[in-house]
């Protein structure tokens, strides 16, 4: 069975190849399909191409956690925290800080 939403997003991206939201939407669609490899690939691409797209940091951090890649999760949350401070986004700053604290407490 084809995922028409994923196909639509890819078509939109073909017309707007520099749109970070479309790349983010594709990554999250792969997460919904439980395709972690493709989701990770898209989130990593998004970080390389659009490091100021704040929404990426929490989701890739959670994915890294699921994959047991705790160091990368911590780095993602920390990078997102710095960016959230720069952008003045208090809500995302709180979410990223809580995620970072949670993995730190798990290691204690």
Q: Mind listing the pLDDT tens digit for each residue in 14-56?
A: 999 999 999 999 999 999 999 999 999 999 999 999 999 999 9
Angle, CA of 100, 101 and 102, to the nearest 5°: 90
99, containing H or E segment: helix 90-107
Residue 71 pLDDT greater than 70, yes or no: yes
Domain ranges across the chain: 1-53, 56-108
Using CA atoms, how far apart are residues 79 and 82, in angstroms rounded to an integer?
Answer: 5
Identify the CA nearest to 31 among candidates 12, 53, 9.
9
Residue 78 pLDDT greater than 70, yes or no: yes
- 104 pLDDT band, cuts 50/70/90, is confident
Contact 33, 3 (CB under 8 A): yes
User: Which tokens go with 14?
Assistant: 């073909």
- 1 pLDDT band, cuts 50/70/90, is very low
Question: Rounded to 10 degrees, what is the CA torsion of 84, 89, 92, 93?
Answer: 60
Using CA atoms, how far apart are residues 23 and 13, in angstroms rounded to an integer?
Answer: 7
Q: What is the pTM of this model?
A: 0.89
Residue 107 pLDDT greater than 90, yes or no: no
Mean pLDDT of the chain: 94
Domain boundaries 56-108, corresponding CATH code: 1.25.40.10
């Amino acid at each position: 069975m084809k995922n028409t939403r994923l196909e639509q997003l890819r078509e939109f991206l073909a017309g707007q190849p520099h749109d970070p939201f479309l790349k983010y939407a594709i990554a999250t669609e792969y997460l919904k399909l439980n395709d972690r490899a493709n989701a990770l690939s898209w989130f990593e691409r998004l970080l390389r191409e659009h490091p100021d797209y704040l929404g990426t940091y929490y989701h890739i951090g959670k994915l890294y956690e699921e994959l047991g890649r705790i160091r990368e999760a911590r780095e993602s949350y920390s990078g997102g925290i710095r960016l959230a401070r720069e952008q003045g986004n208090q809500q995302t700053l709180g979410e990223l800080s809580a995620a970072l604290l949670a993995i730190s407490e798990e290691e204690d």
